[in-house]
């Protein structure tokens, strides 16, 4: 069973009840706050392993709460919100959210996102050798193999791949990836990024047209998944 503590900051009683039943039945310890002020105080006084944060709180905008939490709270934060506009999602992710689910959400999907976020939290250091399907990445030698055959990646392709791998399960926005790999002056070159993502998929995915590991979050960015 799980032993992680999850803080839910949400003022909607039906959602809190659903989350209480879902999380408790899966072994998580849960605490609940109905306002931004209460949630921030609870996170400070009893830091949880993960926070589920609603953006529509009665006393403050959830985006502001996220920014305040990220000034000192390092553990995963997953946004749950009825707001589904791409700009809201991108803003939250760029402000430090690990993931974003739009209400109504499927409980099994939420649990999968929680497991991924907590798994990344518990692995303090990335393993020097990463394997998924037929792919092996040796971080020490900077070698990438598929079916034990070395795959030639450019320096940029390798940097992009490692950024995705180190953030497994987390949605990375186009702007974040471009700034990290190419620099701030490339922040708006989303077409440039799509070309490199396509190249990586062609070299690493079994079916590049139906990728299993380098996943697209439409209009937002990309998510890497080893499963």
Secondary structure (DSSP) of 41-77: HHHHHS--SEEEEESB-SSSBHHHHHHHHTTT--S-E
Q: Contact 46/38 with Cβ under 8 angstroms?
A: no
Give the per-residue pLDDT at 141: 84
CATH 3.40.50.2300 placement within the chain: 5-122
The architecture of the domain spanning 5-122 is 3-Layer(aba) Sandwich (3.40)
Q: Give residue 122's pLDDT band: very low, low, confident or very high (50, 70, 90).
A: low
Question: For residues 121 and 111, what is the distance between their CA atoms, to the nearest angstrom?
Answer: 15
CATH number assigned to the domain with residue range 129-224, chosen from the 4 options 2.30.30.30, 2.60.40.10, 1.10.10.10, 3.20.20.140: 1.10.10.10
With CA atoms as reference, report the closest residue to 52 among 119, 125, 124, 103.
Answer: 103
- Report pLDDT digits (tens) over 60-117: 999 999 999 998 898 999 999 887 778 889 999 988 899 999 988 999 999 999 998 8
Question: For residues 93 and 91, what is the distance between their CA atoms, to the nearest angstrom?
Answer: 6
Q: Residue 121: pLDDT above 80? A: no
In the block, tokens 């700034």 appear at: 179
pTM (two decimals): 0.75
Q: Left (φ > 0), alpha (ψ -120 to 50) or beta: where does 106 sit? A: beta
């Amino acid at each position: 069973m799980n032993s992680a503590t999850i803080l839910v900051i949400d003022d909607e009683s039906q959602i809190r009840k659903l989350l209480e039943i879902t999380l408790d039945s899966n072994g998580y310890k849960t605490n609940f706050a109905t306002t931004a002020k209460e949630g921030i105080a609870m996170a400070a006084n009893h830091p949880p392993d993960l926070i589920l944060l609603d953006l529509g709180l009665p006393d403050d905008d959830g985006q502001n709460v996220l920014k305040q939490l990220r000034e000192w709270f390092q553990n995963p934060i997953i946004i749950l919100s009825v707001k589904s506009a791409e700009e809201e999602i991108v803003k939250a992710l760029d402000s430090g959210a690990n993931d974003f689910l739009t209400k109504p959400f499927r409980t099994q999907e939420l649990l999968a996102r929680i497991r991924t976020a907590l798994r990344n939290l518990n692995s303090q250091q990335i393993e020097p050798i990463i394997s998924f399907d037929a792919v092996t990445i040796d971080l020490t030698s900077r070698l990438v193999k598929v079916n034990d055959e070395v795959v030639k990646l450019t320096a940029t392709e390798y940097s992009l791949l490692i950024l995705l791998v180190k953030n497994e399960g987390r949605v990375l926005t186009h702007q974040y990836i471009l700034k990290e790999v190419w620099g701030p002056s490339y922040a708006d070159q989303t077409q440039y990024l799509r070309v490199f993502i396509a190249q990586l998929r062609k070299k690493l995915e079994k079916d590049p047209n139906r990728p299993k590991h380098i996943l697209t979050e439409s209009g937002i960015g990309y998510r890497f998944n080893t499963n």
